[in-house]
A and B are shown apart, each in its own frame.
Chain A
Amino acid sequence: MKLASIDIVLILIYCAFVLAIGFLLRRQMVGSAEFFMAGRSIPAWMAGLAFLSANLGAQEMIGMAASGAKYGILTSHFYWVGAIPAMAFVGVFMMPFYYGSRARSVPEYLKLRFDEKTRGFNALTFAVMTVFSSGISMYAMGALLALLLGWNIHACIAVSAAVVLLYIALGGLTSAIYNEVLQFFLIVFGFMPVAYLGLRDAGGWSGLAARVPETFVHSWSYLGRADANPMGVEWFGMVMGLGFVLSFGYWCTDFLVVQRAMAADSMNAARRTPLIAAVPKMLFPFLVIVPGIVALGLTLHPNPGAAPLLPTLADGSYDYNMALPLMMSRYYPAGLLGLGLTALLASFMSEMAGNVTAFNTVWTFDIYQSYIRPRQNDAHYLWMGRMATVFGVLVSMATAYAAMRFNNIMDMLQLVFSFVNAPLFATFLLGMFWKRTTGHGAFWGLVAGTGAAALHYELTNVMGASSLLPKIAVMYSYPSDMAQNFWGAIVAWTTCFVATGAISLVTAAKADSDLRGLVFGLTERSTDRERAWHHRPAVLAAVVLTLTLALNIVFW
């Protein structure tokens, strides 16, 4: 891929804009509330788009296109099953407790609802996880740019990290959110032409369907048995593992996204944030998965005179990860190519900024202020937040370099994190909706759930695949790593749910007066009957879920 000077100009204009926003917001950062929570002043539409954008990393865009090429429209389950229902749930049912508790972070909510040790466990694992994952995506981005454009990977990592560092250190969460909204528009404008042109080249949806296997254009028809579809998962594992445990665990408890809603300017805006985000989210499969399917279609049955789109790897499989970049290089002339690369860069930066702002908040409030230096003045914590931003970015860069040298260690870390994440939603569900849940129950339930996830991994394997960690004993073989992942999550969630419930019953619960605003039944319901329909979370949720159902039926 060769870049023309116009492409470079477009990328530089983008960098100038994001930095300018950071500089313009610098003066507003007068205290920690502005820096870490955007002064709780973000309008619903902006919080909603930032909520979505913080999750739209470059790895997600490239990975979802790759999955589209590998599994077809089945990949849409990551959106229509694995995101929208959870986004509706967090907006309607959980946000009243997050926002109403006035907690500044998700770990702080756990402290208010349960106790110090549950908060400490969550804060520590979350902080470590966010810096590592932003480092891993930093490496992936640098490696991609180096491969595509022949740019120097060290320069790519350093420059992109410096831009993100600067605009967050200057403008805090407000700057991150403003830029995420800007990045959202760039992502949409940058990827839309490739989806349109690809589909046009493949002869529309029907032309595309004729080029790929039948299983690639149906989302549910082949989910009856695990061996009937390319993902190797049956409908129950899909709905329970991905749709319930993993999806609710991410969208409802991950501070990276929840922080955006907590920054909204009112309870009503906070509740509408994930619902507003759900509308573009449900359309994203057309933007990222469809180009992936087109890439496969034009590889299996290229148009006359055209070369197959995807390259073949040494082991005979296609290089799926190149689907999106190669589609861009085929359909984007100089000019549009600059826009497309800007979109990739924007998606990378939005995710990294999401990680960094979530990290600096959890570090400053839940670790530094709680355990290291309590009772300092506000200016001190504002200073610490800026330091944590620098520190977080530096650790991310170190992680990126570690990932460059020891690929396996990073995969292992991600695996271990998945053990910690899988049971989380059980803790929140019980904590928010059953006032009898206790701190001991929550903490030991989480430990048990994490242990169950690890044990499940140790006792099962994936047919024909090598394992990252040595196994104790193999009692069951899954047809795909996705099936193993989904079922592991189900096991972890169930263990945590049962253990938390059982331990709560034999330990002392908090008094009702301490749980006001934190638990369902002890919190005043917000009434929104007098509002217009599009300002009522429950109505919006019904609309969003109906549209998602319709999409599932269309692509059944």
Chain B
Amino acid sequence: MRLDLRYPIGLLLTTYGVILAIQGAIVRATVLGLNVNLYWGVIMMISGLVALYLARRRSPSARGDKSGG
């Protein structure tokens, strides 16, 4: 079984995103008037979830139907 790299990438970005977003929501430190931890955390989390979605969508066809893709 090969490791699909999109899983670790998605997992890492989501983990970072969640931690940053929580930090932003609780501490509310602002830079130039922006709650950068919250905003950037949400963006990273969404990117991570997209990577996880792509990995999940791809894996059944990769296992079963070899002609796909």
Binding site for B on A (CB under 8 A): 6, 9-10, 13-14, 17, 20-21, 24-25, 28, 41, 46, 178, 181-182, 185-186, 189, 193, 197, 200-201, 331-336, 339
Contacts and interface: CB of A to CB of B under 8 A. Distances in A.
B19 A200 contact: no
Contact of B19 (A9, A21, A197): A9
A300 to B, nearest CB: 20
Contacts of B5: 46, 178, 181-182
Given A28-B2, A189-B47, 18 more contacts: A6-B19, A13-B19, A17-B11, A21-B3, A21-B8, A25-B3, A178-B8, A182-B5, A182-B12, A193-B36, A333-B27, A333-B29, A333-B31, A334-B29, A335-B23, A335-B24, A335-B29, A336-B36
16 contacts: A6-B19, A10-B19, A13-B19, A17-B12, A178-B5, A178-B8, A182-B5, A182-B9, A185-B9, A189-B13, A193-B36, A197-B31, A331-B36, A332-B36, A335-B24, A335-B29
A153 to B, nearest CB: 27
A197 B34 CA distance: 9
A24 B11 CA distance: 15
A13 B32 contact: no
**Top-10 shortest CB links A-B:** A333-B29, A335-B23, A335-B37, A335-B20, A17-B12, A24-B3, A178-B5, A331-B31, A193-B40, A336-B36
Contacts of B37: 333, 335-336
Contacts of A200: 32
Given A6-B23, A334-B23, A201 B36 contact: no
Nearest to B30: A333
Given A20-B8, A25-B3, A335-B23, A13 B36 contact: no
B42 to A, nearest CB: 12
B13 A185 contact: yes
A468 to B, nearest CB: 42
B7 to A, nearest CB: 10
A489 B40 CA distance: 43
A6 B15 CA distance: 13
B20 A339 contact: yes
A339 B8 CA distance: 17
B44 interface: yes
A201 B47 CA distance: 26
B44 to A, nearest CB: 6
Contacts of B23: 6, 334-335
Given A21-B3, A25-B3, A336-B37, A13 B16 contact: yes
B9 A201 contact: no
User: A interface, by DSSP: helix, strand, loop or mixed?
Assistant: helix
Contacts of A331: 31-32, 36
A46 B3 CA distance: 13
Contacts of A334: 23, 27, 29
Contacts of B27: 333-335
A197 B32 contact: yes
A186 B40 CA distance: 13
A39 B31 CA distance: 47
A55 B37 CA distance: 29
A201 B36 CA distance: 14
A201 B3 contact: no
Nearest to B39: A193
B54 to A, nearest CB: 11
Nearest to A178: B5
B8 A17 contact: yes
B21 to A, nearest CB: 9
A13 B19 CA distance: 11
B8 A197 contact: no
A465 to B, nearest CB: 39
A41 B2 CA distance: 10
Contact of A333 (B13, B36, B47): B36
Contacts of B2: 28, 41
A331 B32 CA distance: 8
Contacts of A25: 3
A189 B44 CA distance: 8
B3 A13 contact: no
Contacts of B44: 189
Contacts of B20: 335-336, 339
Nearest to A186: B12
Contacts of A9: 19
Contacts of A10: 16, 19
Contacts of B9: 181-182, 185
A182 B10 CA distance: 9
A335 B3 contact: no
